[in-house]
Amino acid sequence: MENPYSNEEKQFTKAFEKKLKHSYIDKLRLYKNQKVIIKDVKKVKPTRITFETQVIGLDGTYKVIYLFYKNKHNNQWFIYDVNLVGVSIVQTYRKQFASFLKTKSFKQLLKSL
């Protein structure tokens, strides 16, 4: 028997990926004339790395850590989270979605994306 949520899960994955990309690109557009310094690359596990940078702006320096995983099927690295000044983008969305789902349906969440 086919999973009844598989189509919705696929739609959610695509919609969430699109939302994350647009959100990140919008935030990047806010930066002008800042300097980015690559601080460290750490291999956390054979299939996980972190890539630490610092963004130096007019009003301060901000640490940004990119988290990557290695896809087992094609051996490519993919980003799965960005930690900006100690805050995980994925965890932030997870909390927002959990709060949303307390009063609304998954279909409504999917539509809101």
Q: Where are the domains of the chain?
A: 6-112
What pLDDT shows up at residue 5? 60
Q: What is the reported pTM? A: 0.75
Q: Look at residues 39, 19, 40, 2 and name the one whose alpha carbon lies nearest to residue 109.
A: 19
The CATH superfamily of 6-112 is Tgt2/MlaC (3.10.450.710)
Strand 60-70 with 77-84, pairing = antiparallel
Q: Which secondary structure element, helix H or strand E, spans residue 12, and what is its range?
A: helix 6-29
Does residue 86 register a pLDDT over 70? Answer: yes
Span 26-80, pLDDT tens digits: 777 777 778 889 999 999 999 999 999 998 888 888 898 999 999 988 999 999 8
